[in-house]
A and B are shown apart, each in its own frame.
Chain A
Amino acid sequence: MTQTIAASTPRPKAGGRMKTRGKLIDFAIDVFLFCFSILMILPLVFLVSNAFKTPEEIVAWPPRIIPSDPTLENFRSVLADTPLPLWIFNSVAFSTLSMVAIVMTSAIAGYVLAKFPFRSLNIIFILILATAIVPFEVYMIPLYFQAQALGVLNSLWGLLLGYLVMSFGIFLIRQNVMHSIPDELLEAARIDGAGEFWIFWRIVLPLLRGALGALAVLAFFQAWTSFAWPMIVTTTRNSYTIEVGLALFQTGFTVDLGRLSAASAAVLVPSITLFVILRRNFVQGVASTGMKE
């Protein structure tokens, strides 16, 4: 590929040939990217396909993407053995509550920190900034004892305790307010006699819809994919999230690949579908994490 474009000086006469050559290169790049993309999702495709295979077919070589004799037996036996629907419910409830809490706290804190220039608020902002880089794993053990003291282990509230606020969410909203909401707009509303709360509710929030949407998706997936915290907070079978449930299920004695794949697929397919639907929001949110400074 490198040789084909090594034309050192473009000659105007060779324009036509250059163009077809450029097209060829583009085609080669497309083929490469296409194969690479397929390779990236292939493990997941096989996981889903294994879920529908009989034990004999799973070990067959070469592995087939479409099972020759699709069966629902794996799903049936997983449902008989595990409270999978309950785990999924726990995960959905935990993620949704966490999302709501993070969006609410970030919206209000981000707005206040962006538009109210008081010294005391600066101190608060620095505090939030300073703790933002501390990974969750560093402070989760003391947090566990806080949850224990509150008596919320093995419950939704215990899970939620670790995911109520998100430093990055506060930055994201603060940044957005600073860039997209002019001071004049707020001043004009104040001169018209609008109260501070009314301004926040009726002017600021609607303008932040895009950023809040991105943050919501980000927060939901953060809780949905969390592992270490649910792992220590939940110890009873009925309080597991789907991640913990699956991770412990796979260490069981009688578990075979087909059933593991079935359980995994039951979780993957909805979350991938959700992601593809919300892709724009998600990409916007993640992309903005890189734009912090």
Chain B
Amino acid sequence: MLQQKRWRFAILAILPTLAIFAWVRMYPIVETLRLSLHQWNILSKNKPFIGLANFRELFQDQLFLNALTNTSIIAFGVVILTVPTAMVIAGLIHHRTHSRFSGFYETSVFIPHVVSLVPAAMAWKWIFDAKLGPLNALLEFFGIPAQAWLFDPVLSVICIIILCSWQALGYAVLIYLVGFKNLPVSLFEAAKLDGASGVQRFWHVSVPMLKPITLYVSVVTLISGFNVYAQAFVLASDSQGAPGRQVRVLVLDMLENSFRNYRVGYAASEAVVLLAIVLVLTLIQFGILREKGRK
């Protein structure tokens, strides 16, 4: 009787949230999966089922393959740049926790992570600007020829990696800081007594102990790297209105197929590929963590 009353309250209380959740989350996810197997251009009424034809076409589509390559390079580039830097910076900030500037360090490293994407990208667009930017001016000061940072196909990808890393760093540092705080102090004292230097302690104690955190940060950074869109949109679009050389990334390609070419089913199959990448990355993370737990 009492149990039943509680059950009724629980269901009534969660029902609105569940309804919203089903409506704006579960339904569109299922719909993405379903549409990826259909051919649908917005204008026509019928959506014939075409099985895996969308996917087959996808992997012969040069634009898509280009987008996939760029996105992967960006995602892995950001991880390689961000994760080791974040670990070192967090280690140093942790070491100087009692410094009067530690709040300043934490805040300024974290600010790029919270500022809106577009204004931040605008700042970097100025830095990278071929004619007006300080980066080229600095290079020329040292006698290095100026580069067309945002127009060269290789350099513009590097620019996006730098912008994304600048933004991702604060989050990684924060997570590492939590990790450092949770490390057992006794371990470090023991290492200290054994005569391990600061660098040795970092390398032989902190790095192995923080492995789960490194894994988590890497996967999260990779996943958000695969979703890169705004950075590419702002950095690689020409400010003078011309259709500048865009760095094609997955989300951009997807939106273009859906809203410019009206091929929604095809775009949905791209979304499914993105989902598959994210799933594999997450499974790898869980797999490694579980293996560690078993040992």
CA separation between A170 and B20, bound complex, in Å?
Answer: 13
CA separation between A164 and B109, bound complex, in Å?
Answer: 30
Interface pair A267/B13, CB less than 8 Å apart: no
**Residues of chain A lying within 8 A (CB to CB) of residue B134:** 46, 61-63
Q: Please judge, given known A-B contacts A61-B134, A116-B7, A290-B216, whether A138 and B275 are in contact too, CB under 8 Å.
A: yes
Which one of A29, A43, A135, A139 contacts B96 once the chains associate, using CB atoms below 8 Å?
A29
Which residues of B in the span 94-129 have a Cβ within 8 Å of any Cβ on A?
Answer: 95-96, 99, 101, 104-112, 114-120, 122-127, 129
Interface pair B92/A133, CB less than 8 Å apart: no
Which one of A120, A146, A243 contacts B230 once the chains associate, using CB atoms below 8 Å?
A243
Q: Please judge, given known A-B contacts A29-B92, A134-B29, whether A162 and B24 are in contact too, CB under 8 Å.
A: yes
Interface pair A250/B32, CB less than 8 Å apart: no
Interface pair B274/A138, CB less than 8 Å apart: yes
**Residues of chain B lying within 8 A (CB to CB) of residue A161:** 24
Q: Please judge, given known A-B contacts A2-B199, A283-B110, whether A224 and B229 are in contact too, CB under 8 Å.
A: no
Does A109 reach chain B (CB closer than 8 Å)? Answer: yes
Which one of B29, B119, B267, B278 contacts A268 once the chains associate, using CB atoms below 8 Å?
B119
Does A50 reach chain B (CB closer than 8 Å)? Answer: yes
For A47, give the chain B residue with the smallest CB separation. Answer: B123
**Residues of chain A lying within 8 A (CB to CB) of residue B238:** 251
**Residues of chain B lying within 8 A (CB to CB) of residue A252:** 241
Q: Please judge, given known A-B contacts A9-B195, A32-B92, A264-B123, whether A108 and B13 are in contact too, CB under 8 Å.
A: yes
Does A81 reach chain B (CB closer than 8 Å)? Answer: no
Interface pair B99/A30, CB less than 8 Å apart: yes
Does A237 reach chain B (CB closer than 8 Å)? Answer: no
CA separation between A41 and B9, bound complex, in Å?
Answer: 50
CA separation between A141 and B274, bound complex, in Å?
Answer: 13
Does B80 reach chain A (CB closer than 8 Å)? Answer: no
Interface pair A275/B111, CB less than 8 Å apart: yes
Stretch at the interface among A68-76, A177-185, A207-215, A225-233: A225-233
Does B58 reach chain A (CB closer than 8 Å)? Answer: no
Interface pair A142/B115, CB less than 8 Å apart: no
B290 → chain A, closest Cβ, in Å? 10
A132 → chain B, closest Cβ, in Å? 9
**Residues of chain B lying within 8 A (CB to CB) of residue A93:** none
Which one of A120, A142, A145, A261 contacts B11 once the chains associate, using CB atoms below 8 Å?
A120
Which residues of A in the span 1-56 have a Cβ within 8 Å of any Cβ on B?
Answer: 1-2, 5-10, 25-26, 29-30, 32-34, 36-38, 40-41, 43-44, 46-47, 50
Q: Please judge, given known A-B contacts A228-B251, A257-B132, whether A40 and B237 are in contact too, CB under 8 Å.
A: no
Interface pair B21/A246, CB less than 8 Å apart: no
Does B45 reach chain A (CB closer than 8 Å)? Answer: no
Interface pair B110/A113, CB less than 8 Å apart: no
Does B268 reach chain A (CB closer than 8 Å)? Answer: yes
Which one of A36, A246, A255, A272 contacts B118 once the chains associate, using CB atoms below 8 Å?
A246
CA separation between A137 and B278, bound complex, in Å?
Answer: 11
**Residues of chain A lying within 8 A (CB to CB) of residue B17:** 105-106, 108-109, 165, 170
A281 → chain B, closest Cβ, in Å? 12
Interface pair B278/A135, CB less than 8 Å apart: yes
Interface pair A243/B118, CB less than 8 Å apart: yes
Which one of B20, B26, B258 contacts A141 once the chains associate, using CB atoms below 8 Å?
B258
Chain A 166-204: CB-based contact to B (< 8 A → 1; otherwise 0): 010010000000000000000000000000110010000
For B91, give the chain A residue with the smallest CB separation. Answer: A29
Does B259 reach chain A (CB closer than 8 Å)? Answer: yes
Interface pair B258/A7, CB less than 8 Å apart: no
For B29, give the chain A residue with the smallest CB separation. Answer: A139
Chain B 227-252: CB-based contact to A (< 8 A → 1; otherwise 0): 10110011001111100000000010
CA separation between A255 and B11, bound complex, in Å?
Answer: 55
Q: Please judge, given known A-B contacts A138-B275, A142-B35, A282-B114, whether A34 and B29 are in contact too, CB under 8 Å.
A: no
CA separation between A97 and B6, bound complex, in Å?
Answer: 30
Interface pair A58/B132, CB less than 8 Å apart: yes
For B226, give the chain A residue with the smallest CB separation. Answer: A135
CA separation between A44 and B107, bound complex, in Å?
Answer: 14
* Nearest 8 A/B pairs, CB to CB: A264-B119, A142-B31, A139-B28, A227-B230, A37-B108, A47-B123, A196-B9, A142-B28
Cross-chain pairs A/B with CB under 8 angstroms, 16 sampled: A37-B105, A41-B111, A44-B111, A46-B134, A47-B119, A61-B134, A105-B17, A108-B14, A121-B14, A135-B227, A137-B274, A141-B35, A227-B230, A264-B122, A272-B114, A283-B110
A46-B126, A196-B13, A247-B118 are known; give 14 further A-B pairs, CB within 8 A: A26-B95, A43-B127, A58-B132, A61-B134, A105-B16, A109-B13, A131-B25, A134-B278, A141-B254, A141-B267, A165-B21, A232-B255, A253-B241, A279-B110
- State the A residues within 8 Å of B (CB): 1-2, 5-10, 25-26, 29-30, 32-34, 36-38, 40-41, 43-44, 46-47, 50, 58-59, 61-63, 105-106, 108-109, 111-113, 116, 118, 120-121, 124, 127-128, 131, 133-143, 145-146, 161-162, 164-165, 167, 170, 196-197, 200, 221, 224-225, 227-228, 231-232, 242-243, 246-247, 250-253, 255, 257, 260-261, 263-265, 267-268, 271-272, 275-276, 279, 282-283, 286-287, 289-291, 293
